[in-house]
Amino acid sequence: MNKRMNHKKWIALFCLCIFLGAGSPLLQAASEDPETTADAEKTSSSFFNRPAISTSRPFQVQVQLTGGGKYGRRSYNPGAALHLGYQFSELMYLGLTSQAFYNDDSAFDDDDDKQYDDERIYGQEGASKTTVRSDPRHLIEMRFFPWDFGLYFSAGVMHHGYEKTVTEFKSRPRIINENQYVTGLTTQLEYREWTGAATGIGFNYLFANGFSLASGINVGLAVLKPKVTITSDVAINATDLAEWKDQIEANEKKVPLMFHIGVGYAF
């Protein structure tokens, strides 16, 4: 419940920043002389004149919200990021993003969600607890803005930090590779850190007063395969265990990923 409340506070803060960014130009226009405002609108618009705004305010700082990924149809490891960038022409922008994640000692357990115990995770029911760890991710990218309204495409280099997910299963009758056992299980998935080329797409809109809104996703050009370790309460046939391990490795491959939504200021 506390985690859900924290997420609601983050969303409320983000909506407030949107309101401030969008509302400030309107309040400013309302306080100015109508004739002056009308003349200004003919030559400049906070929506359609992004190149003029971006070149006059080339430096950007943004605070962003992000997440560590997906697990069991839930998003986990909420995180925050800091983005610094410089618009050195109307079309090109250089940016650096660093993301850090909240690592919970007990990300999910059946006390939080009564349905968790019955979900099939790695093909097995009866999970009792999952702990996760996501190390920081970093990105340096070059963005290309082909249009004025803020849509961009990017290419750069991503560092995807080490990840580990440990899931504990309750002792109960279960089928492993078509053979029946009565056992508890513990699975550990580890993704080694990775650095390589990445590409992305996003939206970075600048208001005339300097506020900025951003959202985007960057994808690393690689496939990460987990190292899987399995322990059990009773002895399991080596062939059965190897078959299940191979299934997990094949199903849990992932592409390095960074995504964000954020607010900031340009100066």
pLDDT tens digits along 168-226: 999 999 999 989 999 999 999 999 999 999 999 999 998 888 899 999 999 999 999 99
Residue of 228, 156, 205 lying closest to 49 (CA atoms) = 205
Give the model's confidence band at 19: pLDDT under 50 very low, under 70 low, under 90 confident, else very high: very low
Cα 109 to Cα 173: distance, rounded to the nearest angstrom = 20
134-166, pLDDT tens digit by residue?
A: 999 999 999 999 988 889 999 999 999 999 999
pLDDT digit string, tens, across residues 42-74: 433 334 455 666 778 889 999 998 877 655 445
Q: Are 219 and 199 contacting, i.e. CB atoms less than 8 angstroms apart?
A: yes
Q: What is the residue range of 22's domain?
A: 2-266
Q: What percent of the chain is modeled with pLDDT above 70?
A: 71
pLDDT of residue 213: 93
Residue 112 predicted with pLDDT over 80: no
Q: Give how many domains the chain has, as a whole number.
A: 1
- Model pLDDT, residue 264: 94
* pLDDT at site 50: 58
Q: Give backbone dihedrals phi and psi of 149, rounded to 5 degrees, phi first.
A: -90, 5
Grade residue 37 by pLDDT with cuts at 50, 70 and 90: very low
Whole-Å CA distances, 220 to 12, 92, 156, 191, 262:
31, 21, 9, 14, 21
DSSP code at position 111: T
Cβ partners under 8 Å of residue 38, min gap 6? none
Phi, psi of 266 (to 5 degrees): -110, 140
Lowest mean pLDDT among 91-95, 98-102, 103-107, 204-208: 103-107
Domain with 159 in it: what CATH number? 2.40.160.170
The gap from C-alpha 139 to its chain's centroid, in whole angstroms, comes to: 13
User: Taking CA 44 as the corner, what is the angle to CA 263 and CA 204, rounded to the nearest 5 degrees?
Assistant: 25
Q: Which two tokens stand for residue 104?
A: 């919970």
- Exposure on the CB side of residue 151, measured as CA atoms within 13 A: 2
* Cα three-residue angle 60-75-85, rounded to 5 degrees: 10
Question: What percentage of the chain has pLDDT greater than the value 90?
Answer: 52
Confidence at residue 151, expressed as pLDDT on a 0 to 100 scale: 94
Query: Distance between CA atoms of 235 and 84, rounded to whole angstroms?
Result: 53
Computed over its alpha carbons, how large is the radius of gyration of the chain? 24
